[in-house]
Structure 1
Amino acid sequence: MAIIEHKMSPALAARVMSVSDLAGWGLSMVAYVRWIAAGEWAICSADGTRIGTAPDRLSAFAAIRQHDLEPLSVH
C-alpha cells in the first residue's frame, strides 16, 4: 500500500483500504450464493468456505438471512 499512497493525495490515501483490511471486512456479516450445478446453489462464507447448499437461489438467500447474515450474489 505504501507505493499507492505515494501516488495519491493524502486525503485519498487515507480512504483506501489495504488488501488485508479488505479481506477481513465483513467476514462475519456476509455470505454469498453461487450456482454450482443444475438445481444446486452453494452458500459460502465471505472467505469462500462452502457452508451449505440450497435447491434454488431464493432458498439460499432465505437461509442466509435466517442466520442474520447479509446475502450477496457471485456471478
Structure 2
Amino acid sequence: MDTKYEFKQPGDERIVYVRSVAADELPEDIQGQLGDVKTLYAVHNTAGERLALVKDRELAFVLARQNDFAPVTVH
C-alpha cells in the first residue's frame, strides 16, 4: 500500500513547551504564595501563552500528557 496520509492536520498543534522559571521573575502576588520555592516550571503553548505553572518538571510533563499534549523542554 503506497497511499500517503498526512497525520498532522492544520490547526491540530498538540505540542507544549516546558521551561524553568525563577520565582523572582514572577508577579509579586504569585511569589507571596511560593514560600521557599525558588524554581517553578511553566507550560506554554506554541504561541507562547502560559497554560500552567507547576512545582516541578515531572509534574509539568505529566500535566501536559494528561491533557493530550506532547511536552518538549525549552532552555
Query: Which bracket does the TM-score occupy, shorter chain normalised?
Result: 0.5 to 0.7
Q: Return 5+ residue gaps in structure 1 as ranges.
A: 1-24
Specify the alignment match of 1:57 in structure 2.
57
Higher relative contact order (CA 8 A, sep 6+): 2
**Sequence identity (%):** 35
Specify the alignment match of 2:14 in structure 1.
29
Q: How does 1:38-53 map to 2 (within 5 A)?
A: 38-53=38-53
Aligned CA distance change for structure 1 residues 26 and 69 (closer, same or farther; 3 Å): farther
Specify the alignment match of 2:25 in structure 1.
none
Give the aligned length: 51
**RMSD across aligned C-alpha pairs, in angstroms?**
1.8
Given the two structures, how large is their TM-score scaled by the length of structure 2? 0.61
Q: Return 5+ residue gaps in structure 2 as ranges.
A: 1-9, 23-37
Deviations 1:34-59 (A, max 9, x none): 10112311110111100111100000
Given the two structures, how large is their TM-score scaled by the length of structure 1? 0.61
Structure number with bigger Rg? 1
Name the structure where helix makes up a greater proportion of residues.
1
